[in-house]
Amino acid sequence: MADDVTHRTGTATVAATPTAAGRVPTRPAAPGPRRRLSARWRKRLEILFFVTPALTLFAMFVVVPVIQAGRYSVFRWNGLGPMENFVGLENYANALRDQVFTDAVMHNLTIIVLSILIQLPLGLAVALLLNRDMWGRAAMRVIIFVPYVLAEVVAGVVWLMLLQPNGVVDAVLDAVGLGGLTQLWLGNPDIALYTVMFVLTWKYLGLAVILFLAGLQGVPPDLYEAAQIDGASWWQVQRRITIPLLGPTIRTWGFLSMIGSLQVFDMVWILTKGGPANSTVTMATYLINQGTNRSLYGYSSAVAVLLFGISLVLALAYQVFVLRRDNDDAPKPRKATR
Amino acid sequence: MTAPLTAVPGQPAPLTDAPRRRRRSFSGGSPLVYAAALVVVAATLGPVVYAILGGFRSNAQLAAEPVGLPDPWVTTNYLNVLTSSSFWRYALNSTIVAGITTVVVAVFGVMAAYPLARYRFRGREALFLVFTLGLLFPLTVAIIPLFLMLRDLDLTNSLWGVALPQAAFALPMTIVILRPFLMAIPKELEEAAMLDGTSRIGFFWRILLPLSGPGLVTVGVLAFVASWNSYLLPLLILSDPAAQTLPLGVATFSSEHAQDTAGVLAFTSLAMIPALVFFLAMEKRIVNGLQGAVKG
């Protein structure tokens, strides 16, 4: 009797309890103790049962393709027939020699830098604004987040319409007396990347704001009260209390923003397809272009591996130089406020 | 959204958006503050509102006066979209893809998170690491082999061919969010259930699953939105118009009708509506999910 309880609970502490013993017979679902598997095997089977579906799916559609990308990258292959034209690292060398690829890398890096230079101060400003007690605050918090929820394609098409020659953007500039600034926003190679950047900022500012607002809630209110008593100005309070305490949130957002900037595809594909004259090409659009439009699957895979390598290096560097501060000593920012 | 969100042990902070009745510190709204807020709102919503209103104008109106209210209001653009079978097919396909993705992610995710959270076994942390490493591999890196594999499996132009990989790529995030959630369920509850003679599987079904409802909803909403909005994978997999999803439809329509600005605006506006409605209904979940993900 005690036996068939223990094999399920794993511990003997339970076995003698009268309630447990009394109830067991009423649950025929429990397998008979005679030909039972050992508790250990049963546990293993359970683990297997729970984990297998996810693991299979994950292995099939994530792990295998990633490994395959590495394998394809050392072949010259158009996706048809056997893969036998082994070229070693030639694809990598070709990519690194290709001006368009290095341009793409530079564009991705530009997007990272501009995201931080523009979205960080802007996001902070809006978060501080929406953190005040003001009428309609809740609604504004929802509104600021709307662009983030729209598909990049949908947002991109709307902006494509707005930015077309003689479109709304030009009309608005005309109306406010800046008509001299109108131009081919997406057609001028000198401007196109910044136009794309502008649209990306519109799309992703809400994410920064929402994360910063969450961080602001972690700031203990008594700090503000103390500062108020000490007669600190609003600006002093933000600079000395809010922003230092927001540090971990900001650094986290920076990480997300960086990784996202490295992957940019949808928006660029919709707005410019990487043009004009490759002025907005990114690693992802380059990769897709080489892979699908030109069927250079080996070469394209090499670009994918390079993209992954660059992402990994930047992520690790960020981890070491920026996020480490958070890992080492979490209480530090608290002290910094003194 | 697909980006790695793990490596971030931020401070343990209260996430909830709700009762932040902080004693008013630097509160208040001067006219300047409201003006700034108004600018933010206008800049955020302007393009969306413009697109919706633009759909009610004619191309002649748009050309003559790029900015302005519809005069008269033209409904043909919207009617044309609403009566076209392709729009509804795109929407239906998107719903199916996002639905499959969500169900698969939620079911497989919570199943995998359960032993990772509540069983003790050798290799548990290693297994968890395998899934979290998935956060490092964005879809872009795997897209070419994935495309070729789906082609060989004859899953191109199949909604499963989009939904399953999408679910696979959403799994790491899901497990990373769900595991601490399941870990937080008190041990006593499990012991009590065992005392009453429930097996671990019974515990999973009868107690853990109902209790993890909120976590599952959050994870499901995030997966749904990501799948609904996705473009890259469908772009490669779904070449047959009959199988295309809404983002593909929007892209196709806008390039095929590039001259018909009003028509494109109407089509795009209608394509926005499901996402907007869903967002408004699930706003708390989406926001908390993202904030929670960042907090680790």
pLDDT at site A81: 79
Over residues A281-337, the pLDDT tens digits come to 999 999 999 988 888 999 999 999 999 999 999 999 998 888 877 765 444 443 333
> Is residue B185 domain-resident?
yes
Residue that is written with structure tokens 């802007």 in the block? A122
Distance, CA of B169 to CA of B222 (rounded, Å): 12
Question: Is A117 part of a structural domain of the chain?
Answer: yes
Residue B228 is predicted with a pLDDT of 94
Residues 161-200 of B with CB under 8 A from A: 164-165, 167-169, 171-172, 175, 194-197, 199-200
Contacts of A57 in chain B (CB under 8 A): 104, 108, 164, 167-168, 171
Q: What is the pLDDT of residues B19-57, one digit of tens each?
A: 444 444 445 558 888 899 999 999 999 999 999 999 999
| Residue B25: closest CA among A133, A127, A135, A134 | A133
Which pLDDT belongs to residue B295? 57
Q: Record the pTM.
A: 0.84
Q: Is A286 on the interface with B (CB under 8 A)?
A: no
Q: What is the mean pLDDT of residues A150-173?
A: 90
Q: How many domains does chain A have?
A: 1
Q: What is the CATH number of the domain that holds A103?
A: 1.10.3720.10
Percent of chain B at pLDDT exceeding 90? 54
Q: What is the pLDDT of residues B214-250, one digit of tens each?
A: 889 989 998 999 999 999 999 999 999 999 999 999 9
pLDDT of residue A333: 42
B169–A284 CB contact, under 8 Å: no
| CATH number, domain with residue B289 | 1.10.3720.10
pLDDT given at position A204: 95
Residue of A nearest to B13 (CA): A218
CA distances from A114 to A194, A201, A205, A257, B39 (A): 9, 9, 13, 11, 22
Rounded to whole angstroms, how far apart are CA atoms A303 and A109? Answer: 16
**Which tens digits make up the pLDDT trace of A224-260?**
888 888 888 888 888 888 888 898 899 989 999 999 9
pLDDT at position A222 is 85
> A11 in a domain, yes or no?
no
Residue-level pLDDT at B203 = 86
Which stretches within chain B are classed as H helix? 31-54, 59-64, 76-83, 85-118, 124-133, 139-152, 159-183, 187-195, 200-203, 209-211, 213-229, 232-237, 246-256, 261-295
Residues A218-228 have a mean pLDDT of 83
Residue B210 lies in a domain: yes
Domain that holds residue A139: 90-329
Q: Is residue B59 part of a domain?
A: no
For residue A78, being part of any structural domain is answered with: no
Report phi then psi at A190, rounded to 5. -75, -20
Give me the number of domains chain B comprises: 1
For chain A, positions 196-255, list CB contacts with chain B under 8 A.
202, 205-207, 210-211, 214-215, 217-218, 221, 224-225, 228, 234, 237, 248-249, 252-253, 255
- pLDDT tens digits along A84-122: 889 989 999 999 999 999 999 999 999 999 999 999 999
DSSP A81: S
Within a domain: residue A64? Answer: no
B193 assigned to some structural domain: yes
Q: Show the domain range for B150.
A: 86-248+275-295
Cα angle B268, B273, B274; round to 5: 120
Q: Which of B225, B224, B229, B221 is nearest to B284 (CA)?
A: B221
